[in-house]
Amino acid sequence: MDVNNIGLLAVLTAVLFAPFLVKKVEENLEIFFFIAGTAAVTITAGWTKTLVEEALVEPVKITLAVFAAGFIFKALQKQIAGHIQALVKAAGIKLFVFFLITLLGFISGAISAIIASLVLVEIVRCMDLDRPALVRLVVLACFSIGFGAALTPIGEPLSTIVVAKLRGQPYNADFFFLMRLVGGHISSVILLTGILGALITPSTYSYAKNLCDVEKETVKDIVIRSGKVYLFVMALIFLGAGFKPVIDTFVVNISYKGLYWINLFSSVLDNAALAAAEIGPGLQAVQIKAAILGLLISGGMLIPGNIPNIISSGKLKIKSTEWAAFGLPVGMALMVACYFFLK
């Protein structure tokens, strides 16, 4: 193993374990991932003008969406809280959770994963759930959103990249290509997460709390959160670029089963970057399906795995250990279950 690979292995080990073992890292996750990303690019001598421009420009759209939504939801907070409380009373908490998780999953491909996760956060903030129930609901909903957003090329960067790379022969990918390829798997997972959410949500639910009095965000809170999202997305771009040479070297000619399991690394790397490196017109349909499903499932396991996780955990102050305690076992169960239905 050469020096570069040893360095990348050290970075990967730190990214995987430091957020759970070092409190300062967990409290400053964005800065830590930024440092790890720049280290990975430096180790592989991957610094280019194009990469820097991408890292500066790519997070802007997501950051602006988070920034604007913060002010919109701040202005509508009381109305949202009142409506959520009324809906929970009318439907019951378990049915409400089921519809929340599944609806956000199925519409995220149309409204984007970013908007769906922002809506999720505002709804959850208006619900009177204890901490464990809140974390479980958010993790399952982010799994659902991440899957649903992959159904269309406007839902998230991963699906945009896949459709663009397969637009020519032999797949001639169009807007509905991913729906045809993995729509059945994705729909099943969305429904499964909704059912699981309803089953594990406590049936006892307090209506006594005045949800209109939930803590209001300040302008400073919105600005800081938007800045953290910008830095986090930039960090993931650097991490993806730093590990790209390794991916390009070792992913070639891997079987569909191998592609499926190797994408567990998507839990800490940018799944769009992995999709760009792995997927191309030379792959068989089963390889493409396996790669996509592996990326989507592992993307929900840890906070860095996808944008909904990052947005939701940041705004709701969910720690890496809280997310992993539920996200990892759910993700691994989904990996095992979906493995038997790859073909």
pLDDT tens profile 31-65: 998 999 999 999 999 899 999 998 898 888 888 88
**DSSP states of 202-246 as a string?**
-S-----S-GGGSPPPPHHHHHHHHHHHHHHHHHHHHHHHHHHHH
- Among 7-11, 132-136, 202-206, top mean pLDDT goes to 132-136
230-265 pLDDT per residue, tens: 898 888 888 878 887 777 677 656 888 988 998 888
pLDDT band at residue 225 using 50, 70 and 90 as cut-offs = confident
Q: Please, how many CA atoms are within 13 Å of residue 161, restricted to the half-sphere of its CB? A: 16
pLDDT in tens, 54-113: 889 888 888 888 888 888 877 777 777 777 878 888 889 999 999 999 999 999 998 888
Contact 43, 8 (CB under 8 A): yes
Number of domains in the chain: 1
Within 10 angstroms of residue 314's Cβ, the number of other Cβ atoms is 20
Q: How confident is the model at residue 208 (pLDDT cuts 50, 70, 90)?
A: very low
pTM of the prediction? 0.84
Contact assessment for residue 159 and residue 150, using Cβ atoms and an 8 Å cutoff: yes
Mention every residue, 6+ apart, whose C-beta is less than 8 A from residue 203. 93, 94
Measured distance CA(111)–CA(140) in Å, rounded:
19
In the chain, what's the furthest Cα-to-Cα distance?
Answer: 62
**Given pLDDT bands bounded at 50, 70 and 90, which one contains residue 142?**
very high
pLDDT for residue 39: 94
Cα–Cα distances in angstroms (integers) from residue 292 to residues 94, 256, 259, 299, 335, in the given order: 30, 10, 9, 10, 12
What's the mean per-residue pLDDT of the chain? 87
| pLDDT-based confidence at residue 129 (cuts at 50, 70, 90) | confident
Give the start-end residues of each E strand in the chain.
Answer: none
pLDDT at 191 exceeding the cut of 80? yes
Instruction: Give the domain extent around 40.
Output: 3-339
Tell me, what's the pLDDT at 214? 52
pLDDT at 128 over 60: yes
- Output the pLDDT for position 216: 66
> Under a CB-based contact definition with an 8 Å cutoff, are residues 302 and 325 in contact?
no
